[in-house]
Amino acid sequence: MTWTWFHRLASPPYVYALAQRLTPWFAWPAALLMAGGLWGGLVLAPPDYQQGDGFRIIYVHAPSAWMSLMVYTTMAVAAAVGLIWRIKVAHAVAASCAPIGASFTFAALVTGALWGEPMWGTYWEWDPRLTSELILLFLYLGYMGLRAALEETTRADRASAVLAVVGVVNVPIIHYSVIWWNSLHQAPSVMRLARPTMPPSMLVPLLMMLLGFTLFFAAVLLVRLRGEVLNRERTASWVREALQA
Amino acid sequence: MRSGATQVGHALSARELAAAEATAWVDNPAPHQRASALAAARLALARDLRLAFRKRGQLVQPLAFFALVTMLFPLAISPELARLREIAPGVLWVAALLASLLALEFLFRDDAYDGTLEQYALSGQSLTWLMFAKTAAHWLLTGLPLALMAPLAGLSLGVPARALPAIVAAIAVGTVVLSLIGSIGAALTLGVKRSGALLSLLTLPLSLPVLIFGARATQLAVGGGPLGPPLELLGALAVLGVTLAPLAAAAAVRISLE
């Protein structure tokens, strides 16, 4: 089989056009899944026997937290690809991921704090899960700060790629922190090798929200990627033609 | 056209041949004559130490900073030794962390400025070993003195004398990891103006495990408890850092010099 379709992904004009075509295919399913997940989670799912209706914030909190880890991993993989094979588009992908991931991390921390106040009695607790998620936010901010501080694009790409790869060690620490340490945050009940412990009426909307958030991230990434590619290639001739079309 | 100036292409006399052979090893050393990576690293370490001792005044600055920061807490919180003893582990570690961060800016600054770092990168020697040597020199000049000064700061915060050896050990091992992680951050921000805050933003999130385990070990030392686990975890972090950090720092230096 030919690998041309794969190699074409390294070409900025091809990726620019492809991203425009693909965005609706991610955006509309994302909207539908999130709407369905919110309906199922906020209206249809029964109240929790312990937490009552307050547990429903999980439908925003848990997907945000999962996405914060997923986006960092995506960013680190894209950065590594760019570093090893010197593909500029990969660096553009990594640069586009960072603000999205930082926003998801911030959302996870804020929704977690809002959930913690009625449930644990405190907005914040310095336990391993919360602390390592806060570290993740600082890793994102450090990545974006390093990119902004280095003027030359090639050097900024490669230096922030090294930083992203070095920081990826934090991702398993966050996930396993509730298993390795005595943590106030509850242990994994969904992302585990055994069967999830949640009943289907609560689990299905959660999985719908997770998938919806993932597709939403893909759609937003494609939009940002187009802007990033355009900025990097602004002096190239294909840009003038593409913008005139 | 005959030109008397050019000598290219004329046969070498026997004397010239012998002279060329005698000095050819300089440019093309035989395997047994090439300096090993370890020898190059030893040279770099000795050079860094020798240069640092020519400006002995600068070596004292991180220590003075450490002492001053430690002094801030009794003045800001409470001079009661009982209360200070509770917060002493945290204060000592935060002060050591900040002093290490301050000293990190000088790790590559001079060498990057006068081109020595480029010569290291071009030398054909293992840049990883050279980075390890530079970081080792940095630790010997800042981390180890901090660890040796920690008992004084600890006593001023009411730490019992029996806890002091453990504190020295914990801070000595912890600053090893701090120097190693900091070398990656310093290499990434090479040449960036006023990089102090950015360097802290890059280094601190990765150094937090050191802070957590080190402060826990110090707390157990002060309170009297089993020190083994956190000290062993600190040691594990140090081993991880020693094996992987110079590699990342070498890659970062090559990127920054491009």
Interface A:B, Cβ pairs < 8 A: 48
Closest-CA residue in chain B for A173?
B209
Sorting pLDDT into bands at 50, 70 and 90, what band is B130?
A: very high
Q: Taking 60 as the threshold, does the pLDDT of residue B7 lie above it? A: no
Verify whether the Cβ–Cβ distance A163 to B192 is below 8 Å. no
Verify whether the Cβ–Cβ distance A159 to B252 is below 8 Å. yes
Within its chain, how far is the Cα of B125 from the centroid? 19
pLDDT in tens, A66-77: 999 999 999 999
Verify whether the Cβ–Cβ distance B201 to A163 is below 8 Å. no
Contacts of B192 in chain A (CB under 8 A): 149-150
pTM of structure:
0.84
Place of tokens 């090798």: A193
Q: Taking 90 as the threshold, does the pLDDT of residue B23 lie above it? A: no
Sorting pLDDT into bands at 50, 70 and 90, what band is B8?
A: low
Task: Return the percentage of chain B with pLDDT > 70, whole number.
Answer: 91
pLDDT in tens, B164-212: 999 999 999 999 999 999 999 999 999 888 888 999 999 999 898 899 8
Higher-scoring residue by pLDDT: B141, B36: B141
Distance between B5 CA and the closest CA of chain A, angstroms = 46
Confirm or reject contact between A170 and chain B (CB < 8 A): yes
Distance between A56 CA and the closest CA of chain B, angstroms = 31
Give the DSSP H/E element, type plus range, for residue A71.
helix A58-85
Q: What is the pLDDT of residue A183?
A: 64
Which among B184, B192, B256 has CB closest to A166? B184
Please state the rounded mean pLDDT for residues B28-38: 70
SS (H, E, C) chain B: CCCCCCCCCCCCCHHHHHHHHHHHHHHCCCCCCCCCHHHHHHHHHHHHHHHHHHCHHHHHHHHHHHHHHHHHHHHHCCCCHHHHHHHHHHHHHHHHHHHHHHHHCCCCHHHHHHCHHHHHHHCCCCHHHHHHHHHHHHHHHHHHHHHHHHHHHHHHCCCCHHHHHHHHHHHHHHHHHHHHHHHHHHHHCCCCCCCHHHHHHHHHHHHHHHHHHHHHHHHHHHHCCCCHHHHHHHHHHHHHHHHHHHHHHHHHHHHHHC
Q: What is the pLDDT of residue B4?
A: 45
Q: What is the pLDDT of residue B191?
A: 82
Distance between B32 CA and the closest CA of chain A, angstroms = 33
Verify whether the Cβ–Cβ distance B205 to A162 is below 8 Å. no
Cα–Cα distances (Å) from B246 to A114, A219, B132, B182, in that order, read 42, 38, 5, 11
Residues A147 and A95 sit within 8 Å (Cβ to Cβ): yes
Task: Please count the residues of chain B.
Answer: 258
Return the structure tokens found at B177.
């990891």
Verify whether the Cβ–Cβ distance B255 to A162 is below 8 Å. yes
Q: What is the pLDDT of residue A124?
A: 86
Distance CA B192, CA A88 (A): 23
Cα–Cα distances (Å) from A138 to A160, B58, B175, in that order, read 14, 31, 21
Which among A138, A149, A159 has CB closest to B205? A138
On average, the pLDDT of chain A sits at 89
Verify whether the Cβ–Cβ distance A138 to B201 is below 8 Å. yes
pLDDT in tens, A147-187: 999 988 999 999 999 999 999 988 888 777 777 776 667 76
Sorting pLDDT into bands at 50, 70 and 90, what band is B105?
A: confident
Give the DSSP H/E element, type plus range, for residue A121.
none
Please state the rounded mean pLDDT for residues A123-140: 87
Contacts of A162 in chain B (CB under 8 A): 184, 188, 248, 251-252, 255
Distance between A216 CA and the closest CA of chain B, angstroms = 28
Q: What is the pLDDT of residue B3?
A: 46
Contacts of B188 in chain A (CB under 8 A): 146, 159, 162-163
CA triplet B134, B137, B141: central angle to 5 degrees? 140
Please state the rounded mean pLDDT for residues A97-108: 96
State the greatest distance between any 2 C-alpha atoms of chain B, in Å, as a whole number: 96
In the stretch 112-131 of chain A, residues with CB closer than 8 A to chain B read 131
Sorting pLDDT into bands at 50, 70 and 90, what band is B33?
A: low
On average, the pLDDT of chain B sits at 88
Confirm or reject contact between A86 and chain B (CB < 8 A): no
Residues A108 and A133 sit within 8 Å (Cβ to Cβ): yes
Residue whose C-alpha is closest to residue B200's, from A130, A141, A112: A141
CA triplet B194, A141, B112: central angle to 5 degrees? 35
Return the structure tokens found at A96.
């586009």
Verify whether the Cβ–Cβ distance B206 to A167 is below 8 Å. yes
pLDDT in tens, A9-26: 999 999 999 999 999 999
